[in-house]
Amino acid sequence: MTMRSVGDGKAEFYELLPGREHVTVIEPRANPFRLDLRELWNYRDLVLLLVRRDFVAQYKQTILGPAWHIIQPLLTTLMFTIVFGKIARLPTDGLPPFLFYMAGTVIWTYFANVFTATTGTFAHNAHIFGKVYFPRLVMPLATLVSRLIAFAIQFAVFLGILAYFAVTDAAVQPNLWVLLTPVLLMMMAAIGLGGGLIVAAFTTRYRDLVVLVSFGVQLLMFATPIIYPLSSLPARWQFWASLNPIAPVVEAFRYAYLGQGTLSVGMLLLSALVVVLILSAGVVLFNTAERTFVDTV
């Protein structure tokens, strides 16, 4: 549904009133490439309130509350350390396995959470979307922020454990690349959001995708250097593996904090380009799907 500023169309109707007045024009087709950032900005309070709602509602009547944010990645890391480190004996670039897996888990979890939650945008909010209008992108953006809070908690735990290892283990060497962290996070958020929006747009037509998502995320994790370093792959596979836009980000993250890994600026730039494409495609498809999704869900 398009919003236009005053000035086009029939004169008597659009005759200006004192103050700002906005005119809403509803038409069958809107330009899917148009992203109304000003309108989104007007709803920033809603984004914040939704983040608060997610956080508060998630832990009402639970015993451990937000501690779950810490327990979950710690248990995952512990399991990875035992299964892939001790039993399968996968290499970890000479790093302590626990730290290696934790770095991967923390950043991967952020991506996986944003992606999974975004794919459910239409399915989970159908009752709200069917009753009231607001820019639909508000919902995935709120998800992005609320998962960022979870990430921050996990990241703090990671930093604590890193501090211990940095003192006791010479192989662990955090370096100045950590300054790139915000960029890496933004890339992860953008892949999760963009990919999630693409899938969300298709779920309005194909319900099958809902089932595929959690399964797909798991498969994608094995295709990403989370439980193994990129360097452990045969040379000719390394190139193909780093075409996965998440791979260079994870490797850069690990290199920055642990001092070991494959940091490739060229691959990061290529990855950034792919990320922009995914995000744009996601927004366009989402804009198209949102206009009539209530008729099909």
Partner 1 sequence: MPRPVIRIENLSKYYRLGAIGSHTLREDVNRWAARLRGRPDPMPRTGAAEPETREGGGIWALKNLDLEVGAGEILGIIGPNGAGKSTLLKVLSRITAPTEGRVTMRGRVGSLLEVGTGFHPELTGRENIYLNGAILGMKTREVDRKLEAIVAFAETSQVLDTPVKRYSSGMTLRLAFAVAAHLEPEILIFDEVLAVGDRAFQDKCLDKIQDLARSGRTVLFVTHNMGPALDLCSRGIVLAAGQCAYDGTMNDAVRHYQGCAVGGRRQTR
DSSP per-residue codes, 197-230: HHHHHHHTT-THHHHHHHHHHHHHHHHTTTSS-G
> CA 75 to CA 162: how far, in whole Å?
17
Q: Half-sphere exposure of residue 287, counting CA atoms within 13 Å on the CB side?
A: 17
User: Would you count residue 45 as binding partner 1 (CB under 8 A)?
Assistant: yes
Are 51 and 144 within 8 A, CB to CB? no
- Farthest-apart Cα atoms in the chain, separation: 78
| Near partner 1 in 152-211, by CB under 8 A | 205-209
User: Would you count residue 53 as binding partner 1 (CB under 8 A)?
Assistant: yes
Q: Determine the interface stretch with partner 1 among 26-34, 94-102, 104-112, 165-173 (rule: CB under 8 A).
A: 26-34
Please list, in sequence order, all residues whose beta carbon lies within 8 angstroms of the beta carbon of residue 247, skipping any fewer than 6 positions away.
224, 225, 230, 241, 267, 271
Binding string, 54-73, against partner 1, x = CB under 8 A?
--xx--xx------------
Burial of 16 by CB count in 10 Å (0-12 exposed, 13-18 middle, 19+ buried)?
Answer: exposed
Among 38, 89, 127, 236, binds partner 1 (CB under 8 A): 127
User: Would you count residue 5 as binding partner 1 (CB under 8 A)?
Assistant: no
User: Would you count residue 130 as binding partner 1 (CB under 8 A)?
Assistant: yes
Binding string, 226-265, against partner 1, x = CB under 8 A?
----------------------------------------
Q: Determine the interface stretch with partner 1 among 112-120, 126-134, 161-169, 190-198 (rule: CB under 8 A).
A: 126-134
Interface residues toward partner 1, by CB under 8 A: 1, 9, 13-15, 17, 21-30, 43, 45-46, 48-50, 52-53, 56-57, 60-61, 127-134, 205-209, 291-292, 294-297
